[in-house]
Amino acid sequence: MPPPYHNPHWQVFTRTPHVPAGAVGYIPSDWVTNHRLHGIPTGAIPLPTQQLDRTQVRDICQNLANPVLFGYICVMAWGLQGAGPGGQRHVASSWGSNAVIAAHLNILRSGGLTRSQAYQQFLGAGNIPGLGPSYWTKLLYFFSLSPLFFIMDQWTGKSINLLTNNSVVRMAGNAPSNLNNVGNYQAYCEEVDAIATHLGVTGEQAEEMLMSKGGHHPWQWRHHVRNNWPPSRPVHRYNAVSMHTQYPHIPLAHF
């Protein structure tokens, strides 16, 4: 049975090999200086003075000798927090809740949470001002013991919606909406799992393929997503009942 993904998007995606993106983002030490952050914890290593790749960021976050906020800085710099309109304000706002962030991250790093439980930490009373799903799912990926808590940002969210022709990830403009619930995140991760199985790669590799790479010379898949978003035939209006029908093992209340 062929994969249940839509063309021409699936055809383009399957022609995209997995290539690690390498070192990207801001330099962590510069990011702290540029945003005038105070109260920076000391890690087992000095705050990096070069761009980091995924493996380096994950190693920093998983190293118990590094305070979680040290790892948080590296994640936010890697993920370009602060870029775009209002970026400086978002960085300051989220850092102002660093005690809550640290509590969330210590729980994540201790393990034992499901994907839904990990995502739930950042909803409701646990929400961090200035930190949306694009960024807190980066924290899930880098701090959770399992690397299968995937990043759900604008590029992976758009990619999954194009490939499935469905609003798996609820979007607000170009970014995943704060209205995404635990069911959306669980469904999104399951789609990444399925794509990985179809392509014979790991979930981490599949998610990195979906994210692709941008800049002045975007990689093939990122270029395709840019040229096809928003879809010429928009997916249907988001409907929780419809989502539950497609993912019946995920409770309706989770959507």
**In terms of residue numbers, what domain contains 190?**
9-17+151-254
Q: How far is CA 145 from CA 9, 105, 186, 207, in A?
A: 32, 11, 17, 17
State the Cα–Cα distance between residues 154 and 133, nearest whole angstrom.
Answer: 9
> What is the predicted pLDDT for the residue at 5?
96
Whether residue 89 is found in the same domain as residue 129: yes
**Taking all residues of the chain, what is their mean pLDDT, rounded to a whole number?**
95
Of the pLDDT bands very low, low, confident and very high (cuts 50, 70, 90), residue 183 is very high
Please say which residue of 67, 102, 133 terminates a domain. 133
Please say if the pLDDT value at position 197 is more than 80. Answer: yes
Number of domains, the chain: 2
> What is the predicted pLDDT for the residue at 215?
87
> What is the predicted pLDDT for the residue at 237?
75
Whether residue 227 is found in the same domain as residue 207: yes
Tokens of 200: 């014979």
Q: Is residue 139 part of a domain?
A: no
Q: Is residue 188 part of a domain?
A: yes
Note the residue count of the chain.
255
Of the pLDDT bands very low, low, confident and very high (cuts 50, 70, 90), residue 10 is very high
* Residue 153 neighbours by CB under 8 Å, 6+ apart: 79, 133, 134, 135, 137, 138, 175, 176, 211
Q: Is the pTM of this model over 0.85?
A: yes
> What is the predicted pLDDT for the residue at 11?
96
Q: Is residue 143 part of a domain?
A: no
Whether residue 68 is found in the same domain as residue 126: yes
Q: Is residue 138 part of a domain?
A: no
> What is the predicted pLDDT for the residue at 49?
98
Q: Is residue 179 part of a domain?
A: yes
- The 8-class DSSP code of residue 26 comes to -
- Bond before 3 cis per omega within 30 degrees: no
Q: What stretch of H or E contains 175? A: strand 175-176
Of the pLDDT bands very low, low, confident and very high (cuts 50, 70, 90), residue 2 is low
**Torsion sign (Cα): 210, 212, 215, 220:** negative
Please say which residue of 104, 133, 162 terminates a domain. 133
Please say if the pLDDT value at position 233 is more than 70. Answer: no
Whether residue 13 is found in the same domain as residue 32: no
> What is the predicted pLDDT for the residue at 1?
56
Please say which residue of 133, 159, 182 terminates a domain. 133
